[in-house]
Structure 1
Amino acid sequence: MLTILELLAAEAPPAELEDLVRRARTAGLDDVAVSQLERAERLAVEVHTLFSRRRQREAELSALVDTARDLTLPYDLDALLKTITRRTRMLLGLDMSYITFRDAASGDSYVHTAEGHASALTVGYRVPYSSGIGDEAIGKSVPVWTPDYLSDERVRHTDVLDEVVRAEGLRAIIAAPLTFGEDAFGVLYAAGRNVRHFTVGEVSLMSSLGDMAAVAIEKTRTLERTHADVANLQSDSTQAESRLSELRRREDLHTRLVDHALAGNGLNSLVAEVATELRAAVLVLDAEHRPLSRYGTLPSLDEAEVLRACHAASKGQVPVAVTTGTWVVPVVAGSEELAVLLLHPGEPLDDTDVPLLSVAAQSLAVLLQVRRGEEAAASPFRDELFEDLLAAPRRPAKQFIQRAQRLNIDLERPHVVVVIRPEGGAQGRAASWAASYARRMDGFRSIQNGCIALLLPASDSSAAARGVSAELTPLLGQPVTVGAAGPVSSPDLVRQAHQEALRCLDALVSLDSVGAYASPADLGFLGVLLSDNRDAASFIAATIGPILDYDAQRMTELTRTLDAYFAAGGSPTHAAESLHVHPNTVSRRLERITELLGGDWLKPERALEVQVALRLQRTHDLLRRQRSGGPAAHADSPEQRSGLASFSDDSA
């Protein structure tokens, strides 16, 4: 027994203890002594195993301390994860180690770092989050292991994960959750290519590695976020200083240019100052794109491209560059565009120079507003006269005529009223254009309830509406609805024409024709309803006059046939029955009607006008017979059905 203690103290291998007991048996000792020696041997082996386990634990703890020390060093995230996987593989003596993170967007996991992989488990490889032993480890918050992954029926297998495990040749796998607080953001794996049952110490070691790795990862992430925040703050500080410098430069330029505009200098002088300050060639156009002033020579410009740039600049209220390097800048006062500034710099502008273009445009807007105020003060009576014509129709016409004569305007010549309603919030630009257009056309302008009214010397209201729409719509780049009425040759009729033009505009809106233009003459039978002057006889003559004339000249029944055809719902057969004629007769009459009215008389819009004209003609015949004491029945003779010459406003 003393020898056994000596061997144990000398940390002799268990084989020497077994050899000692074997020699004792052969020495002839009695059974009691041999039994005691065997028991002493077993106790010695247990002590030896206990010492070995403690030494192994000490080695593991030492390695764990070294690992913890390594993880406290400053790393970026990728380097840290590589250190963790390398240490894990070495401490457990396995073939590979890898870390997966959970993708919150897709719900899957992906391999972020791998150590010792052969080919399949590469960085970025995605696996279902709810499969394998990783999800179970997170759910239980403890390490989970399997001695042989593919043959272990306790594991939730998926084809995707089984295929990659098979490709790597992995058997034993252990997984520890990476958890910080309540956030389980990943899993640390270690795997071997042989079957292996993990000991309690190895499972405990894996748990400690997972805890330390999670803390180190979160620390590194926090440091990276902090560094990013510091970098952003430094960048923001630099940008703020640069921005302050830009604002000071812009303020200085704004002060100089506005002072120049208010000093009583002309537009040409201010344009020259802008060109000098910005080292550029400058051209200023009015709201209708006519040149007002220029300084220097601009390169050749594509008119269509400039027009598109003007629309874009006006819509966004920002400078817009064209392909030649020329900048288009709206000159705006409030919501009204006064002009357009075209500026071609000697050198390309950077982001800090572009806002200076708006400063130059503001100084031009100040000068143009001053000029407008001077013009308005010099001649305030034209628009006031138009507004009085609309607001005070009971004043003697002679007063208005005399006031107009003092302004060199003849109100007794034909005038038309045009009412404009711009869409999309472009009232300011439209009002500015209308003032300029009225001056060019020797007319008047007024703004009533959000609509712009023009009184223009003309004899064709349809042509006037078309001209206004054609010029204003491209300028605004927005739909413009235009109604017109007239002509009128007396101040007493201006207000009436204005009401008709408004009704035309409302009719276009009601007919879902926003952006169109029309006068009562353009609206067909609607014009009869909207107009205060237009007689129904003109509408009937324009719509079915050829048929009425044909019946009157040839004693035919085309009008009656047409009426019966519509009454029968467009059925020639039913119309023939009501007329007591053969269906072929109705067909031939309809062919003659097509020759007289044109091939489109059956289209819905035209057919409606034809039916209204027939109804008006029938009403006219009825009223005429009532006045003459005749029978109040449908006219039977062509002469009774014609009678256009006697259809007056009174008879209607």
Structure 2
Amino acid sequence: MISRPETAVGALTVLELLAQEAPPSAFDAVVHDARAAGLPADQLTHIERARELALSVQALFQHREQREAGLNALVETARDLTLPYTLTALLKVITQRARRLLHLDMSYISFPAEREGDFYVHSADGQTTALTEGMPVPGTSGLAVDVQNGSAPFWTPDYLSDDRITHSEEVDGVVRAEGLRAILAVPLRHADSFFGVLYCADRKVRHFSPHEIALMTSLADLAAVAIEKSRTLNRVQAEIAELELDISAAKSGLADAARGHGAQARLTDMVLEGGDLHTLARVAAEELDSTVLVLGPDGATLAPAGEQPERLPDSLARAALDAHHNRRPVPLADGTWVAAIAAGAEDLGTLVVRPADGRAGFDERLLEHTARTAAIMQLMLRSTTIAESQIRDAFFDDLLAVPPGQSEQLEERARRLSIDLNRPHVVVVARPEGGAQGRALIWASSYTYRKGGLRSIRDGVISLLLPGEDAGAAAKEVSDALTPLLEHPVTVGAAGPFTGLDPVRPALAEAMRCLDALAALDCHGTTASARDLGFLGVLLGDVRDVAGFIGDAIGPVIAYDAQRFTQLVQTLEAYFDAGGSPTYAAETLHVHPNTVSRRLERITELLGPDWQKPAETLEIQLALRLHRVRGALRPYEDGTAGQPTR
């Protein structure tokens, strides 16, 4: 109970309670006791005033304590933000600190989305649904509009009921799902750039004080610096990692270059010491850690090294042509590499290398150097042959350019080059299509070298002068070799056989006419010679070999008549004139139909069972007419004129 003097005692009691940090109810009890004691009104007023001052001082102390706690929390947060975090971990720390700083229910951070003006939630803390992480936030609604426009904090005590905010159904749905009421949005800025928003939210209506807003703004400023530092650190780390990769690649490249230089020096020393292709293949297999195979221009194996496969890939021939044409090694699907062994346009062979265990990393430069070394060795071994090959091709061009009758010098050159045109030869022509002329020319060089022939190319047509007696068979062989390499059927014409120098140009012209005839007949991808074309060959041939055509068509019948004095040729003419009727033919010949039938059986034995097919009958009838005309114009040429017939 308060005793007298009551005012002084009451004031002292209030000071004692203030010193003891008593709760507000203790101060109210002092005033209550004074009233109960019946103190005068003026004394009671002094005691009440003392209580109010004590409560004010106590509130001031609490505010300072809260401010000190907030500042301590900011200092602690700043210290935490200096630690190395990934961006995701850093944002998680920031959202957690924001919640604890103001004792809120939820906090999250949004960043600008790819679509200009929009945002998305990157990190959140305290959420109760799965609708926040990664949630898009339209830039035209919500608190982000005001924060972005004013670059200052914006808050609302009750989001859903606040008419100042531009609402969107998407954001409002998430706010309802989370049960949020009060929301504070603070911009994340660094220097003059704005790159996100820090949100703090409570699930009850709450009015944020200036102190709380200032505290969150300071946190946002610290967070912005930390985020920018983290981004910069990530960029620097990425650049450092890239530099480390570049340095590692450079070191590896230097090591490979040093190793390649040593291997090249070893290969060069081997050449200078007189090594052969077998030594080259062995050294290359060791340096490349691979199986090595050196092939000649004809595809024959010259030098193997290492365990060779049972069979070479089917695509090897085409890859070899590509390697020669492009002057670069060509990889196959199974890991095998193919490199050209060449000197200029001259095909000296092919280098086939299969890395051990099919590994992907491969020293392509060392492969190219190995191929060049093999080319040098081939040149050393075949220098005379290569020079002769080039001279032989030049001789063929001259042979086609010099007019007939002026071949004395060519004959002398042919003797020096050991070209014997007194042997039967044929001319084969092919026109590569689809941009494959370079590949076909490389093949032709190798092919004529193997066959002992000559090659030339004019106006996109490859011409081959080859030893042989069957032009059609030579054309078929060339087509069969070129078609798989060029990946499309090749049309080939041929002419011959012939002997001597003068027939070469006419034979080439005849072969070209055959090639043009096949194109005109829409027989692309086929082969033919003048003889294969039948009567078309007689029309196309520069040398009109009528006798040869007649001999091919009905020669056995003519010979049979000459030896046995029969009338099979006459019977054939009557048979065709009668439209293929033995009865009408018998009337024309004035013999019995059975006689005609027996003669037709004999003709079948001589010409074969297919002589009455349309194509054959056409050629037989043309041969019969040519035979009759020749007999009328030159009755004594075959020595049969005046001989009896029956």
Question: Which residue in the other structure is 1:212 paired with?
Answer: 222
1:436-447 aligned within 5 A? 436-447=446-457
What secondary structure is seen at the aligned counterpart in 2 of 1:436?
helix
Assess, with a 3 A threshold, how the Cα gap between structure 1 residues 183 and 646 changes in structure 2: closer, same or farther.
Answer: farther
CA contact (8 A) 1:287 1:432 kept: no
Deviations 1:80-122 (A, max 9, x none): 2222111101112111222233343798644433222224146
- 2:479 counterpart of 1:469: yes
Assess, with a 3 A threshold, how the Cα gap between structure 1 residues 232 and 278 changes in structure 2: closer, same or farther.
Answer: closer
Comparing 500-509 with 448-457, which one deviates more in the overlay?
Answer: 500-509
Assess, with a 3 A threshold, how the Cα gap between structure 1 residues 532 and 229 changes in structure 2: closer, same or farther.
Answer: same
Question: Which residue in the other structure is 2:257 paired with?
Answer: 247
Which of 487, 495, 499 is the aligned partner of 1:486? 495
Question: Which residue in the other structure is 1:96 paired with?
Answer: 106
The alignment's TM-score, normalised by the length of structure 1, stands at 0.67
How far off its partner does 1:216 sit? 0.6
What secondary structure is seen at the aligned counterpart in 2 of 1:191?
strand
- 2:270 counterpart of 1:260: yes
Question: Which residue in the other structure is 1:285 paired with?
Answer: 295
Question: Which residue in the other structure is 1:618 paired with?
Answer: none
Question: Which residue in the other structure is 2:639 paired with?
Answer: none
CA contact (8 A) 2:338 2:353 kept: yes
- 2:394 counterpart of 1:384: yes
1:174-185 aligned within 5 A? 174-181=184-191, 183-185=193-195
CA contact (8 A) 1:338 1:432 kept: no
How far off its partner does 1:462 sit? 6.2
1:394 and 1:268 map into 2 onto residues whose CA distance is 49
Q: Give the length in aligned residue pairs.
A: 552
Question: Which residue in the other structure is 2:240 paired with?
Answer: 230
Assess, with a 3 A threshold, how the Cα gap between structure 1 residues 82 and 550 changes in structure 2: closer, same or farther.
Answer: farther
Assess, with a 3 A threshold, how the Cα gap between structure 1 residues 133 and 405 changes in structure 2: closer, same or farther.
Answer: same
CA contact (8 A) 2:345 2:442 kept: no
Deviations 1:490-549 (A, max 9, x none): 645644665676788899999999x9566697999xx99x968499x99xxxxxxxxxx9
Comparing 442-451 with 167-176, which one deviates more in the overlay?
Answer: 442-451
What secondary structure is seen at the aligned counterpart in 1 of 2:314?
helix
The answer for unaligned runs of 5 or more in structure 1 is 539-548, 556-594, 599-642
Question: Which residue in the other structure is 1:410 paired with?
Answer: 421
**Aligned residue identity for 1:486:** A
CA contact (8 A) 1:250 1:359 kept: no
How far off its partner does 1:4 sit? 7.9
Which of 72, 89, 92 is the aligned partner of 1:79? 89
Deviations 1:127-161 (A, max 9, x none): 55555433543343223333333444554444544
What secondary structure is seen at the aligned counterpart in 1 of 2:130?
coil
The answer for unaligned runs of 5 or more in structure 2 is 1-6, 550-573, 581-611, 616-624, 631-646
Comparing 434-443 with 312-321, which one deviates more in the overlay?
Answer: 312-321
Question: Which residue in the other structure is 1:366 paired with?
Answer: 376
What secondary structure is seen at the aligned counterpart in 2 of 1:340?
strand
Question: Which residue in the other structure is 1:454 paired with?
Answer: 464
1:451 and 1:647 map into 2 onto residues whose CA distance is 38
CA contact (8 A) 1:89 1:190 kept: yes
Deviations 1:221-279 (A, max 9, x none): 21232233233333432332232121111112112213423554433343344345556
How far off its partner does 1:220 sit? 1.5
1:60 and 1:96 map into 2 onto residues whose CA distance is 18
Assess, with a 3 A threshold, how the Cα gap between structure 1 residues 646 and 219 changes in structure 2: closer, same or farther.
Answer: farther
Which of 207, 210, 225 is the aligned partner of 1:200? 210
CA contact (8 A) 1:173 1:190 kept: yes
1:39-118 aligned within 5 A? 53=63, 56-104=66-114, 109-118=119-128
1:470 and 1:108 map into 2 onto residues whose CA distance is 67
2:137 and 2:502 map into 1 onto residues whose CA distance is 87
1:140 and 1:534 map into 2 onto residues whose CA distance is 100
2:112 and 2:346 map into 1 onto residues whose CA distance is 56
What secondary structure is seen at the aligned counterpart in 1 of 2:464?
strand
Which of 403, 421, 429 is the aligned partner of 1:393? 403
Which of 178, 200, 209 is the aligned partner of 1:190? 200
1:100 and 1:129 map into 2 onto residues whose CA distance is 11
CA contact (8 A) 2:347 2:446 kept: no
CA radius of gyration, larger in: 2
2:113 and 2:575 map into 1 onto residues whose CA distance is 85
Deviations 1:332-379 (A, max 9, x none): 556776433344677776736675444433321222244443313356
Assess, with a 3 A threshold, how the Cα gap between structure 1 residues 646 and 159 changes in structure 2: closer, same or farther.
Answer: farther
2:575 and 2:57 map into 1 onto residues whose CA distance is 134
**Aligned residue identity for 1:285:** L
1:123 and 1:522 map into 2 onto residues whose CA distance is 85
Deviations 1:425-478 (A, max 9, x none): 672x54332122113333211244665432234567665444323313434x55
1:143 and 1:509 map into 2 onto residues whose CA distance is 85
What secondary structure is seen at the aligned counterpart in 2 of 1:361?
helix
Question: Which residue in the other structure is 1:638 paired with?
Answer: none
CA contact (8 A) 1:306 1:322 kept: no
**Aligned residue identity for 1:112:** H
**Aligned residue identity for 2:420:** I
1:522 and 1:199 map into 2 onto residues whose CA distance is 110
**Aligned residue identity for 2:351:** L
Assess, with a 3 A threshold, how the Cα gap between structure 1 residues 164 and 462 changes in structure 2: closer, same or farther.
Answer: farther
Which of 164, 170, 176 is the aligned partner of 2:180? 170
Question: Which residue in the other structure is 1:606 paired with?
Answer: none
Assess, with a 3 A threshold, how the Cα gap between structure 1 residues 176 and 395 changes in structure 2: closer, same or farther.
Answer: farther
CA contact (8 A) 1:143 1:176 kept: yes
CA contact (8 A) 1:178 1:188 kept: yes
What secondary structure is seen at the aligned counterpart in 2 of 1:304?
coil
Question: Which residue in the other structure is 1:432 paired with?
Answer: 442
